[in-house]
Amino acid sequence: MARGASETERTAVGWAARDAGGHLSPFSYTLRKTGPEDVAIKVLYCGICHTDIHQAKNHLGMSRYPMVPGHEVVGEVEEVGAEVTKFRAGDVVGVGLIVGCCRECHPCKSSNEQYCPKKIWSYNDVYPDGKPTQGGFSSAMVVDQKFVVKIPAGMAPEQAAPLLCAGVTVYSPLKRFNLAAPGLRGGVLGLGGVGHMGVKLAKAMGHHVTVISSSDKKRGEAVDHLGADAFLASSDGAAMAAAAGTLDYVIDTVPAHHPLEPYLALLGLDGKLIVMGVIGQPLSFLSPMLMLGRKSIAGSFVGSVEEAEETLAFCKDKGVTSQIEVVKMGYVNEALERLERNDVRYRFVVDVAGSNLDGAA
């Protein structure tokens, strides 16, 4: 199909969680008709982010079911609405965590639409008409063109998927907090999906990168395969003490409650601890840990559409790729379990179009 909105709602088959057990199974639902500004997408690949576990398992107490997760979506355009100018049928495109915003508030007007108070999440949310949003572990999505990006020519679609959340999530704060200049000394706490993109992007920006990990297990991989310059096991008190005051920033990707002080101690003057993990319990620190060094703790939430485009272009230009394990949808529950027990190097990507979505592996 090409330009011109189809007159009918179409059926999509996704894999949905039905309750906080978080087990995904086939689920059919209707997509809205392709509106004038809409892009109808056949999903090719979708990355699995730890947020998908938080949401499917209701870690934040705000989950709605049935829920089709997935927000690192790469697909092929099947049809575009009459007003769509950026895309045409056959384009390979990406969609991330956000699929709607008000377009009128300060964040929206300043290309920070991910901070719009009326933003619409790609799943576990509702459109203004009350229809639930559903994510990328599905045969298809219909998305407003504003929230769709082009995948650069020559970039493998499965490689691109993790850039749409993990990649932009580290690119955005490095840029916004003026931490993109070469020569900086950065730390990445937690070497998972977001963390490994942190190492790769920071290295491509010319930083000296230290991985801070919960054990020694990933030392070899971090240094030999990902190109980290140094590695600290957070359990090694002597090594942590020796590194005190040496870093300009730490990107903290830990998805569970943890102390902040060991990582604040690694920062030098004006250092920034950028908290990325979604943690439903209060984190704490002693105020002198910030004051004695003029340090700050900041948060950051994915990135804007513009920043997603920049991340893709930056990765293409610098030859940055994600390190992924591609799986079929029939394996998605095992993949979620393995992700939860820290057993993936470093992102699962589901081959959605190559899977039998009706249930077989």
Ligand X SMILES: NC(=O)C1=CN([C@@H]2O[C@H](COP(=O)(O)OP(=O)(O)OC[C@H]3O[C@@H](n4cnc5c(N)ncnc54)[C@H](OP(=O)(O)O)[C@@H]3O)[C@@H](O)[C@H]2O)C=CC1
Query: Shortest distance, CB of residue 359 to ligand X, whole angstroms?
Result: 26
Residue 213 contacts which entry, Zn ion, ligand L3LJF4O6, ligand X, none (Cβ below 5-8 A, type-dependent): ligand X
Contacts of 29-32 spanning 24+ positions with Cβ under 8 A: 29/66, 29/68, 29/132, 29/134, 31/140, 31/141, 31/142, 32/127, 32/131, 32/142
Cα-Cα-Cα-Cα torsion 340, 12, 80, 93, nearest 10 degrees, comes to: 20
Cis, peptide link before residue 128, omega less than 30° from 0: no
Q: Which is nearer to ligand X, 122 or 300 (CB)?
A: 300
Query: Shortest distance, CB of residue 59 to ligand L3LJF4O6, whole angstroms?
Result: 8
Q: Which is nearer to ligand L3LJF4O6, 53 or 148 (CB)?
A: 53
**301 forms part of the interface with ligand L3LJF4O6 (CB under 6 A):** yes
Q: Which is nearer to ligand X, 50 or 208 (CB)?
A: 50
Query: Shortest distance, CB of residue 1 to ligand X, whole angstroms?
Result: 33
Of the candidates 143, 165, 136, the one whose C-alpha atom is nearest the C-alpha of residue 51 is: 165
Query: Shortest distance, CB of residue 336 to ligand L3LJF4O6, whole angstroms?
Result: 14
**168 forms part of the interface with ligand L3LJF4O6 (CB under 6 A):** no
Binding site for Zn ion (CB under 5 A): 49, 51, 101-102, 105, 108, 116, 165
Residue 105 contacts which entry, ligand L3LJF4O6, ligand X, Zn ion, none (Cβ below 5-8 A, type-dependent): Zn ion
Q: Which H or E run contains 195?
A: helix 193-204
Report the first-to-last Cα separation within the chain, whole angstroms. Answer: 29
Q: Which is nearer to ligand X, 5 or 99 (CB)?
A: 99
Query: Shortest distance, CB of residue 339 to ligand L3LJF4O6, whole angstroms?
Result: 12
Output the CA angle 215-218-224, nearest 5 degrees. 145
Binding site for ligand X (CB under 6 A): 49-51, 54, 165, 169, 190-195, 213-214, 218, 253-256, 258, 276-278, 300-302, 339, 342
- Report the C-alpha gap between 281 and 258 in whole angstroms: 10
Map residue 139 onto helix, strand or coil.
coil
Q: At what angle do helices 193-204 and 166-176 cross, to 10 degrees?
A: 50
Task: Choose which of 278, 279, 283, 290 interacts with ligand L3LJF4O6 (CB under 6 A).
Answer: 278
Q: Which is nearer to ligand X, 5 or 203 (CB)?
A: 203
Please give the single-letter amino acid code of residue 305.
V
95: β partners: 73, 148
Query: Shortest distance, CB of residue 265 to Zn ion, whole angstroms?
Result: 28
Q: Which is nearer to ligand L3LJF4O6, 63 or 213 (CB)?
A: 63
Query: Shortest distance, CB of residue 97 to ligand X, whole angstroms?
Result: 7
Is 146 exposed, middle or buried (CB count within 10 Å of its CB: 0-12, 13-18, 19+)? Answer: middle
Q: What is the DSSP secondary structure assignment for residue 42, as one 8-state letter?
A: E
Task: Choose which of 74, 97, 168, 251 interacts with ligand L3LJF4O6 (CB under 6 A).
Answer: 97
Residues of this chain that bind ligand L3LJF4O6 (CB under 6 A): 49, 51, 60, 97, 165, 278, 301-302
